[in-house]
Amino acid sequence: MNRVIALANQKGGVGKTTTAVNLAASLTATKRRVLLIDLDPQGNATMGCGIDKNAQPRTSCDVLLGDCAATEALVPVEYGGFMLMPANQDLTAAEVRLLTMIAGREFKLRNALKPIRDSFDVVLVDCPPSLNMLTLNALVAADSVMVPMQCEYYALEGLSSLIQTIDQIRTSINPELQIEGLLRTMFDPRNNLSNEVVGSAHRTFRGQGVPDHDSAQREAGRGTELRQARALSRQGIARRPRVSGARGRDDSPRRTAFSRRHD
Ligand SMILES: Nc1ncnc2c1ncn2[C@@H]1O[C@H](COP(=O)(O)OP(=O)(O)OP(=O)(O)O)[C@@H](O)[C@H]1O
Ligand SMILES: [Mg+2]
């Protein structure tokens, strides 16, 4: 069964793109047919795949605006082995155009993907760091959403609004939308704050069916080549996701400003 997974978090720099690119390469290595959609005008996923974002005749912008079919905008990622729908700055203009449309603007990606969904086992959508019309299109097109979360002080700020948005989309447009989980990125178990953030996220979201997962691509963030990262990520993906062993408030040796604020 094929699956569309959006990687979303309106907070910037939390590892959405790094996760998306490495997940695409890893899933390809496990013999799955993978499509990565760059839905961020920064075009980082496109660049991360070694594709020149400014030299593409067709991009996700054209697809969203209905100027071309999704198949026309796909390019092969040579050393990743998967397909990419690239993006560049033009996507900003597309978002503005979408905002002025009255009907059906949230369904543009979903409708565009319909003819090609069956050609892939997994479609990953790399979202921009904003809860805008592009992210909304991704969430409406998706079967599930994965939320990369950097384990630092402000990590939980905004997560609640993302979860609320997901709930709203579920009740109004896409009842099938699942939360794949919170993915801890740049997590350092030796760091007290990292552990507190994980514990706090666990306490905040455990009643809402939000599992949390370990990030397996620390090396990728250090600029490891895609091929090496693919091998590393493969090991990580083989690992079963586990619910974090969050320390409860009572057995915590020391409560910091962070835990007082978020508990
Ligand atoms: N697991 C990781 N370990 C270490 N560094 C990482 C990891 N994931 C990402 N990084 C680094 O963090 C930075 C931001 O990552 P990335 O661009 O993937 O985040 P993003 O959420 O897509 O950002 P944006 O919101 O701007 O699109 C990059 O420099 C990347 O190399
Ligand atoms: Mg990104």
Q: Are 148 and 215 in contact (CB under 8 A)?
A: yes
Residue nearest to atom 7 of ligand 1 (CA): 221
**Ligand 1 pocket: which residues have CB below 6 Å?**
12-18, 40, 42, 44, 129, 185-186, 215, 217-218, 221
| pLDDT for position 212 | 60
Q: Are 77 and 51 in contact (CB under 8 A)?
A: yes
Global model pTM greater than 0.85 = no
3-class SS shares of the chain: helix, strand, coil, % to 5: 45, 15, 40
Nearest alpha carbon to residue 212 among 143, 165, 150: 150
Give, in degrees to the nearest 5, the angle at Cα 100 between 97 and 105: 80
Domains annotated for the chain, with CATH where assigned, are: 3-261 (3.40.50.300)
pLDDT digits (tens, 9 = 90+) for 7-42: 999 999 999 999 999 999 999 999 999 999 999 999
User: What tokens does 120 get?
Assistant: 């892939």
Least confident range from 72-76, 108-112, 134-138, 161-165: namely 161-165
More confident residue, 66 or 151: 66
pLDDT digits (tens, 9 = 90+) for 172-218: 999 999 998 888 888 888 888 888 888 877 777 776 666 666 544 44
Residue nearest to atom 8 of ligand 1 (CA): 15
Give the number of other Cβ atoms within 10 Å of residue 165's Cβ. 17
